[in-house]
């Protein structure tokens, strides 16, 4: 792509009339070149010239937002697409409840709003960086394609946030947009803003867990930002949610297919005890206890992303009408939360206790509870696969006090069932609950690329349905010679 | 007479669905809802607009079942798997009466195998009346469709059944019993004619139907019919035909290729769609061949059917000063459109006209498909077996 003379009306599909907005256009032109440099530098390693069967959004209507075709990733058309404006939309919560939605940034909330957008924006390129090495061990072209679809869409989400920064925050916004390209996941000097986004994604099981758990946090955050009284942010996030769904699909079905394959292999080999790890691993599949350990790692890491249980920041966001609750408009209450309370788990006097606190300060907790409920349903669907195969094993979400780094339980040790223990006890049992070095080494032996169309690595089952209804042997990625 | 209509019901596969809520968000008529277990589609609200289909990340949304009794929301909420497609009595006996059966079988011979009704076609009634017990229809109108100087004398005849039940579907035929005996003293042979009107009547909700009928020089039955006057009584058998039927699927594309009076069933198809679901997304495409515009039945009325409802291509083989053009020539010209259409599993092809025309059409499809990298023989077999390829020539 010619980065100097980009035709923004075609190369950057948009419904914000970019071509006529000279100021924003100039700002984006400058940023675009840096973005592409970042993508080349930190995007998927080794596949920049591969032709990938990708879905591109060219407009927000159902017909326009899922155009499939082969694309080289650097040529992907990262669009700026906002959900259609709703006539007469109001602020639906907080102290501005009932007022017309903000079409511009209210002066008093400028810093707050910018921070919200920057935090959201920072996660988008971070996950691309975290996942950049995975291509070379993809279990199939189908999975490789899904990885890249996730990556380009995270890239598009960055575009979406950067557009807001450029359009509504002037020079500050432009600087923040540059910073989004400067920080690097896991870098000691310039790390990404949130912890989970500085962790490695060392293998495909981690990738699937990440897209199941961490992208689901993304969904919760986007959903509560979609409630925003700042209309451009709301519209942006509403459209991003449709893409986020694909990422969770990759996670849920990725883990599900792994479970499926393990159970099938166990049955074929006549292994009934899922804890007979050595025999199961000898089949070249991932034992269910290890899948549970990976789950135990990713779930708490993502819970940390919701921040402290009690937060005045989130109360301020809510009061200001900038960030609502999950599905705010479907909740039946006063939408001001001036007198309501919400139960929060706390660590008091050496015990985990439930305490009612002002609902306004417990918004992080509430969103996290909604998140947990959503996760639990997905885990149940995994259990259904195990049941169906007749294997006796259940995956479970660990207790919220387990393995936390942020919030009430950051300084304590607890088992996945929530039983408290000393540091010494924890050290002894840690590897019963979290992947050990041996576990990871075993996973490493399975991470071998399978690039033959229609073939899948031995540890994962093929999907039930192809992308875009393609048949099993479809060449989802044409890897350049 | 009631027949249980087959409905194409939109369902979500609970095994593949990840409950992301995208479909519910994208449905413009709130047909999709969920409980703690499943996402479900309300059959009474879904309008087949397909707005939910592209955004679904899993493909779970793209599931359809032909049912006579739709699954309720409660049933859908309780599922862990999608129920299998129930066995449907498709491709049942076309007509039970020997005489009519052999005529139908001969007409459908060009299909190249056992014809199968479109999966979504309504259940037809067949053989309610026979030679021994015919329905008595009254002629309500008899009009010449072709110009006075045209070589072909084609008539539009409207028959009314009064209070006799005579349920029909577009694409079905009826038998006419001409009075009298032939030179060997046997009763005159029954002739079959395609119904040219939609199921609920030439005039909506009247118990009547229309035929498109060409006077054959030595045809006993056609001369009898073309000579009928308003108020005359006619003995009718049938209805006949259980496969050359119209899909009920609003998304179905229907490619209709015909010559002369072969247009009759397609007039029924087009009218039904125009009256019942004019905005359904499926396309109607017509390739119609005649000698000249003056000899093309329904030429005038066809001009006023909007392109948004029906894409029309007319081929004339005898217009002075113009090269002879046949339907297959126009098909080759429109190869981009046709290869695109036959590439879709939603597309149904119907050929109706004079015996032999299917060969030219077949060759044209073969060329078009080859150009698009499609194996026509394989595709045609697949289409036939799935009720999407139909030939009726006589």
The two tokens of residue A87 are 């006539």
Sort B242 into a burial class: Cβ within 10 Å, 0-12 / 13-18 / 19+: buried
Neighboring chain B residues of A378 at a CB cutoff of 8 Å: 18-19
Q: Does the pLDDT at position A2 exceed 70?
A: no
> Does residue A2 form part of some domain?
no
Q: What is the DSSP string of A409-443?
A: TTT-EE-TT--EE-HHHHHHHHHHHS--HHHHHHH
Residues of B in contact with A464 (CB under 8 A): 15-16
Q: Model confidence over B150-193: pLDDT tens digits?
A: 888 999 999 999 998 899 999 999 999 999 888 778 888 889 99
A contacts of B60 (beta carbons < 8 Å): 465
Q: Which of A216, A329, A465 is the best substitution to test chain B (most B C-beta atoms within 10 A)?
A: A465
Q: Which residues of B touch A374 (CB under 8 A)?
A: 19
CB contact under 8 A, B51 and A66: no
**Alpha-carbon distance B199 to nearest alpha carbon in chain A (angstroms):** 33
For a pLDDT cut of 90, what percent of chain A falls above it? Answer: 84
pLDDT confidence of residue B96: 47
Q: Is residue A108 part of a domain?
A: yes
Q: How many beta carbons lie within 10 A of that of residue B24, not counting itself?
A: 17
CA nearest to B159, candidates B267, B223, B231, B103: B231
Q: Which two tokens stand for residue A451?
A: 């690039």
Reported as a single tens digit per residue, the pLDDT across A32-75 is 999 999 999 999 999 999 999 999 988 887 777 788 899 999 99
> Per-residue confidence at A13, pLDDT binned at 50, 70, 90?
confident
- Among A248, A384, A465, whose Cβ lies nearest the Cβ of B18? A248
A13 within some domain? no
Residues of A in contact with B80 (CB under 8 A): 384
DSSP string, A266-299: HHHHT---TT-HHHHHHTTS--HHHHHHHHHHHH
Neighbour count for residue A291 (Cβ, 10 Å) = 22
Letter string b/e over residues A63-79, b meaning 16 or more CB atoms within 10 A of that residue's CB = ebbbbeeebbbeebbbb
Q: What is the DSSP string of B234-247?
A: EEEEEEE-SSS---
Q: What is the pLDDT of residue B91?
A: 40
pLDDT at A9: 63
Find, among B294, B361, B346, the residue nearest to B119 by Cα. Answer: B346
List beta partners, residue B234: B137
For residue B36, list chain A residues with Cβ-Cβ distance below 8 A: 377
What are the pLDDT digits (tens) for B324-344?
A: 999 999 999 999 999 999 999
Count of Cβ atoms closer than 10 Å to residue A182 Cβ = 10
- Residue A448 tokens read as 């071998």
In angstroms, rounded to a whole number, what is the distance separating the alpha carbons of residues B249 and B47? Answer: 11
Q: Is B21 on the interface with A (CB under 8 A)?
A: yes
Give the pLDDT score at B1. 35
What's residue B145's pLDDT? 84
Instruction: Please answer yes or no on whether B21 and A245 come within 8 Å at the CB atom.
Output: yes
| C-alpha–C-alpha distance, residues A156 and A247, integer Å | 13
Query: A192 is in which domain, residue-wise?
Result: 18-478
Label the pairing between strands B284-290 and B253-259. Answer: parallel
CB-nearest to A62 from B15, B51, B58 is: B51
Of A241, A252, A467, nearest to B18 by CB-CB distance is A252
Q: What DSSP line would sit under B43-85, residue for residue? A: TTT-----TTTTT-SSSTT-EEEEESSPPPHHHHHH-SSPPPP
Nearest to B124 by CA among B248, B243, B21, B283: B243
Question: Distance, in angstroms, between B20 CA and closest chain A CA?
Answer: 6
Least confident window among A53-57, A324-328, A330-334, B89-93? B89-93
The larger pLDDT score, comparing residue B341 to residue B303, is at: B341
pTM exceeding the 0.80 threshold for the entire prediction: no
pLDDT of res. B98: 63
End-to-end alpha carbon distance in chain B: 30
What are A219-236's pLDDT values in tens digits? 999 999 999 999 999 999
Q: Say if A4 falls within a structural domain.
A: no
Residue range B108-137: mean pLDDT, rounded: 86
Distances (CA, A) of A193 to A118, A119, A120, A199, A479: 9, 7, 10, 12, 34
Contact B252, B348 (CB under 8 A): yes
- The model's pLDDT over B130-157, given as tens digits with 9 standing for 90+, comes to 888 899 999 999 988 888 888 889 999 9
Site of tokens 């009064």: B162
How far, rounded to the nearest angstrom, does the alpha carbon of residue B377 sit from its chain's CA centroid?
22
Task: Give A84's DSSP letter.
Answer: P
Q: Between B18, B51, B52, which is nearest A249 by CB? A: B18
CB-nearest partner of B54 from A63, A248, A377: A63
Q: What is the pLDDT of residues A430-440, one digit of tens each?
A: 999 999 999 99
Binned at pLDDT 50, 70 and 90, residue A481 comes out as low
Mutual angle of helices A141-168 and A170-182, in 10-degree steps: 150
* B83-112 tens-digit pLDDT: 988 765 444 445 545 667 777 777 877 777
Beta bridge partners of A68: A55
Q: Is residue A6 part of a domain?
A: no
Residue in B20, B53, B59 nearest the CB of A245: B20
Statement: residue B378 has pLDDT above 80: yes
User: Which residues, 6 or more positions from B378, have their beta carbon under 8 angstroms from its beta carbon?
Assistant: none
Q: For residue A34, give both structure tokens.
A: 């840096």
- List of residues 6+ apart from A180 with CB closer than 8 A: A118, A121, A122, A125, A158, A161, A162
Nearest to A62 among B21, B55, B80 (CB): B55
Q: B20–A219: do the CB atoms touch at under 8 Å?
A: yes
CATH label of the domain that carries residue A182:
1.10.620.20
Nearest alpha carbon to residue B262 among B388, B364, B393: B393
As a whole number of angstroms, the distance between CA B152 and CA B147 comes to 9
Edge-to-edge strand order for the sheet containing A51-56? A67-72, A51-56, A477-478
**What is the Cα–Cα distance from B124 to A378, expressed in whole angstroms?**
45
Put simply, whether B346 touches A (Cβ < 8 Å) is no
Encoded tokens for B144: 């010449």
Instruction: Look at chain A and report how many structural domains it folds into.
Output: 1
- A327 belongs to a structural domain: yes
Query: Could you say which of B21, B36, B55 has the minimum Cβ distance to residue A66?
Result: B55
Query: Looking at beta carbons, which residues of chain B come within 8 Å of A245?
Result: 18, 20-22, 55, 57
Please, are residues A253 and A170 in contact by the beta-carbon 8 Å criterion? no
Instruction: Identify the burial level of B77 via C-beta atoms within 10 angstroms of its C-beta, where 0-12 means exposed, 13-18 middle and 19 or more buried.
Output: middle
Mean residue pLDDT of chain A comes to: 93
Instruction: Give the Å distances, CA to CA, from B259 to A176, A228, B264, B352, B359.
Output: 69, 62, 10, 7, 13
Partners of residue B392 on adjacent β-strands: B352
Contact: A464, B16; criterion CB under 8 Å: yes
Q: State the DSSP code for A102.
A: B
Evaluate whether A165 touches A118 at the Cβ level (below 8 Å).
yes
The H-or-E segment that residue A52 falls in is strand A51-56
Nearest to A157 by CA among A115, A125, A191: A125
A142 contact residues in B (CB cutoff 8 A): none
Has residue A11 been placed in a domain?
Answer: no
- pLDDT score recorded for residue A7: 59
Residue B215 touches partner A, C-beta closer than 8 Å: no
CB contacts of B15 in chain A (<8 Å) are 464
CB contact under 8 A, B57 and A66: no
Task: Tell me which residue in B36, B54, B80 faces A66 most closely, judged by beta carbons.
Answer: B54
Residue B37 three-state SS = coil
Interface test with B, best of A66, A215, A224, A249 (most B CBs within 10 A): A249
Bridge partner residues of A358 (DSSP): A341
Q: CA of B312, closest CA in chain A: separation in Å? A: 25
Closest chain B C-alpha to A268 CA, distance in angstroms: 23
Q: Which residues of A374-394 are buried (b: 16+ CB within 10 A; e: fewer)?
A: bbeebbebbebbbeeeebebe
A·B CB contacts under 8 A: 55
> Over the stretch A287-307, which tens digit does the pLDDT of each residue have?
999 999 999 999 999 999 999
B 28-57 → A contacts, CB under 8 A: 36, 50-55, 57
- Contact (CB<8Å) A377/B19: yes
Query: Looking at residue B251, what DSSP letter applies?
Result: T
Pairing of strands A420-421, A477-478: unpaired
Q: With respect to residue A9, please indicate whether it lies within any of the assigned structural domains.
A: no
Q: What is the mean pLDDT of chain B?
A: 87
The nearest CA of chain B is from the CA of A34 a distance in Å of 30
Cβ within 8 Å of A, B 131-170:
none
Q: Is the pLDDT of residue A3 over 60?
A: no
- Tell me which chain B residue has its CA closest to the CA of residue A378: B18
Contact predicate B175/B100, CB 8 Å: yes
CB A46 within 8 A of CB A138: no
Longest dimension (CA), chain B: 77
3-state secondary structure of B177: strand
From A470, which residue of chain B is nearest by alpha-carbon distance? B59
Determine the 3-state secondary structure of B325 from DSSP: coil
CA A68 to chain centre: 22
**pLDDT at residue number B97:** 53
Q: Could you tell me if B343 lies within 8 Å of chain A, comparing CB atoms?
A: no
Written as six digits, the tokens of A285 are 């599949």
Q: Domains along chain B?
A: 7-78 (3.30.70.20), 135-240 (2.40.30.10), 248-393 (3.40.50.80)
Cβ contact B55–A252 (<8 Å): no
**What pLDDT is stored for residue A470 in this prediction?**
83
Contact of B58 with chain A, judged by CB distance below 8 Å, is answered with yes
- Partner residues linked to B311 by β-bridges: B285
ipTM of this complex: 0.82
Rounded Cα distance, B368 and B287, in Å: 15
The candidate with the shortest Cα–Cα distance to B191, out of B285, B261, B144, is: B261
Query: Which of these, A296, A307, A363, lies nearest to A195 by C-alpha position?
Result: A307
Place of tokens 């925003």: A228
B7, B116, B194 from B253: Cα distances, Å: 17, 17, 21
- CA atoms of A460 and A479, how far apart (whole Å): 21
């Amino acid at each position: 792509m010619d980065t100097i003379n980009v035709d923004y009306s075609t190369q950057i599909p948009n419904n914000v009339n970019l071509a006529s907005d000279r100021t924003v256009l100039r700002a984006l032109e400058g940023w675009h070149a840096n973005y592409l440099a970042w993508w080349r530098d930190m995007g998927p390693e080794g596949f920049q010239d591969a032709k990938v069967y990708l879905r591109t959004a060219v407009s927000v209507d159902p017909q326009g937002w899922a155009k499939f075709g082969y694309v080289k990733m650097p040529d992907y058309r990262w669009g700026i697409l906002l959900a259609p404006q709703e006539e007469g939309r109001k602020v639906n919560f907080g102290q501005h409840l009932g007022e017309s939605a903000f079409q511009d940034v209210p002066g008093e909330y400028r810093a707050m709003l910018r921070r919200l957008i920057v935090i959201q924006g920072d996660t988008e390129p971070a996950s691309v960086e975290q996942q950049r090495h995975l291509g070379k061990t993809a279990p199939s072209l189908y999975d490789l394609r899904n990885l890249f679809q996730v990556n380009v869409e995270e890239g598009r989400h960055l575009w979406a946030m950067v557009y807001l920064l450029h359009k509504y925050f002037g020079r500050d916004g432009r600087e923040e947009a540059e910073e989004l390209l400067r920080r690097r996941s896991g870098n000691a000097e310039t790390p990404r803003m949130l912890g989970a986004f500085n962790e490695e994604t060392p293998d495909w099981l981690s990738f699937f867990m990440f897209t199941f758990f961490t992208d689901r946090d993304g969904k919760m955050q986007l959903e509560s930002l979609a409630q925003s009284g700042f209309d451009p942010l709301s519209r942006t996030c509403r459209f991003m949610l449709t893409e986020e769904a694909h990422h969770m699909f990759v996670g849920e079905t990725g883990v599900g297919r792994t479970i499926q394959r393990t159970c099938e292999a166990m049955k074929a080999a006549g292994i009934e005890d899922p804890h007979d790890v050595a025999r199961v691993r000898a089949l070249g599949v991932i034992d269910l206890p290890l899948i549970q350990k990976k789950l135990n790692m990713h779930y708490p890491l993502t819970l940390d992303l919701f921040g402290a249980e009690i937060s005045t920041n989130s109360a301020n966001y809510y009061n200001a009408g900038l960030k609502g609750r999950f599905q705010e408009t479907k909740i039946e209450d006063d939408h001001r939360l001036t007198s309501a309370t919400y139960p929060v788990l706390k660590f008091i006097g050496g015990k985990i206790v439930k305490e009612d606190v002002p609902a306004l300060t417990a918004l992080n907790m509430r969103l996290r509870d909604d998140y947990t409920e959503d996760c639990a349903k997905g885990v149940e669907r995994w259990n259904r696969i195990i049941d169906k195969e007749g294997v006796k094993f259940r995956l479970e979400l660990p207790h919220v006090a387990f393995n936390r780094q942020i919030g009430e339980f950051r300084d304590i040790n607890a088992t996945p069932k929530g039983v408290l223990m000393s540091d010494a006890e924890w050290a002894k049992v840690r590897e019963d609950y979290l992947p050990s070095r041996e576990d990871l080494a075993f996973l490493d032996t399975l991470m071998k690329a399978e690039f033959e169309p229609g073939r899948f690595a031995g540890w994962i089952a093929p999907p039930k349905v192809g992308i875009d209804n393609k048949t099993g042997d479809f060449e989802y990625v044409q890897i350049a010679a | 007479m009631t027949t249980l209509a087959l409905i194409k019901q939109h369902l979500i596969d609970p095994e593949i669905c990840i409950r992301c809520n995208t479909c519910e968000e994208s449905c413009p008529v709130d047909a999709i809802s969920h409980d703690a277990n499943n996402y479900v589609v309300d059959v009474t609200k879904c309008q087949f607009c397909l707005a939910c289909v592209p955004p679904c990340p899993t493909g779970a949304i793209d599931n359809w079942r032909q049912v006579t009794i739709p699954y309720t929301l409660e049933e859908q909420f309780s599922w862990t798997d999608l129920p299998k497609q129930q066995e449907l009595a498709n491709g049942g006996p076309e007509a039970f009466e020997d005489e009519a059966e052999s005529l139908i079988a001969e007409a459908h011979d060009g299909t190249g195998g056992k014809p199968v009704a479109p999966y979504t076609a309504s259940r037809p009634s067949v053989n309610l009346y026979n030679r021994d017990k015919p329905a008595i229809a009254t002629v309500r109108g008899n009009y010449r469709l072709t110009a006075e100087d045209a070589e072909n004398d084609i008539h539009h005849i409207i028959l009314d059944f009064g209070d006799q039940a005579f349920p029909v579907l577009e694409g079905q035929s009826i038998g006419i019993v001409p009075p009298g005996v032939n030179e060997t003293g046997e009763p005159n042979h029954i002739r079959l004619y395609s119904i040219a009107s939609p199921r609920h009547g030439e005039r909506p909700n009247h118990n009547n139907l229309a035929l498109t009928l060409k006077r054959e020089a030595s045809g006993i039955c056609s001369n009898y019919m073309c000579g009928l006057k308003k108020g005359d009584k006619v003995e009718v058998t049938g209805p006949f035909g259980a496969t050359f039927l119209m899909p009920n699927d609003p998304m179905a594309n229907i490619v209709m290729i015909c010559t002369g009076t072969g247009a009759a069933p397609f007039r029924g198809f087009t009218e039904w769609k125009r009256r019942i679901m004019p905005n359904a997304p499926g396309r109607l495409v017509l390739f119609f061949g005649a000698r000249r515009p003056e000899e093309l039945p329904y030429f005038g009325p066809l001009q006023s059917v909007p392109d948004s409802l029906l894409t029309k291509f007319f081929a004339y083989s005898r217009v002075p000063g113009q090269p002879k053009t046949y339907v297959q020539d126009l098909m080759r010209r429109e190869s981009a459109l046709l290869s695109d259409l036959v590439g879709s599993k939603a597309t149904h092809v119907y050929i109706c006209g004079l015996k032999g025309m299917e060969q030219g059409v077949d060759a044209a499809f073969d060329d078009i498909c080859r150009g698009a990298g499609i194996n026509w023989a394989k595709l045609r077999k697949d289409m036939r077996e799935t009720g999407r390829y139909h030939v009726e020539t006589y």
